[in-house]
Amino acid sequence: MFTQAKLILQSYKPLKLEKGMLFLAMHHGQMSVYELGYDIHSQEQTETYVELNGYPVEPYIYLVGNPNVPSETSLMAEPDQIGWFDDGDDSDELHDITIRELNNILDRNGLCEIEVEEEHLDDDEAEDYIRVVPTLLQDKVTIRYLWEDDEWVDEEQLCIHCNGSGEGQYDGTICSMCGGSGVYEDDNIDWDDDDYYPHYNI
């Protein structure tokens, strides 16, 4: 079964910067994550890059509001456990999570769903104590988008001018590009283009 969780990117200080490390950036007013495209060996270059871009980040999955202890937030997956992504009913197969999917989740305030199972434990004070633990497949967890109202609007379809809000530049107006719908339906736009989607490869 799947339950709601939260993706959180936490910074860390590595000895050196390597290709594939994740960094945060602002793109069209939205926070997004991108991969470093090359190794940085020089200490001077490392310091300069960190000064301009901050330290790299790693993804963690937390269960906010443990079902057994509402005030507790529990860690469900560490960076090396985050690997599988479930596209939902559109696909029967899992695949490695991509930068695009991480950014889609970040655009939803980090909310996602993680596959979990119930673990029954012996407890002196309770006859049947149940703990929710992540389901592991080849030592990795499976996550998917958090569906709202049984419908998911892919972030790559959101209007880039109003960021999906439908609001215009001035109070009381609607976006002139999407007509207030928040979704830009121009088939001529290449949504894989970096100008329209927060995916960087430096």
Give the pLDDT confidence of 51-76 residue by residue, as tens digits: 999 999 999 999 876 556 655 678 99
Q: Where are the domains of the chain?
A: 2-150, 153-202
pLDDT band at 197 (very low <50, low <70, confident <90, very high): very low
- The pLDDT value given to residue 92: 79
What are the backbone dihedrals phi and psi of residue 117, each rounded to the nearest 5 degrees, phi first? -140, 160
- The pLDDT value given to residue 157: 56
Residue 127 confidence (pLDDT) above 70? no
pTM: 0.67
- The pLDDT value given to residue 76: 93
Residue 126 confidence (pLDDT) above 60? no
Q: What is the DSSP string of the chain?
A: -EEEEEEEEEE---SSB-TT-EEEEEETTEEEEEE--S-B--HHHHHHHHHHH---EEEEEEEES-SSSTT-EEEEE-GGGEEEEE-GGG-S-EEE--HHHHHHHHHTTTEEEEEEEEEEE--SS-SSEEEEEE--BTTBEEEEE--BTTB---GGGB-TTTTTS-B-SSTT-B-TTTTTSSB---TTS-TTSTTTS---B-
Residue 124 confidence (pLDDT) above 70? no
pLDDT band at 199 (very low <50, low <70, confident <90, very high): very low
pLDDT band at 120 (very low <50, low <70, confident <90, very high): confident
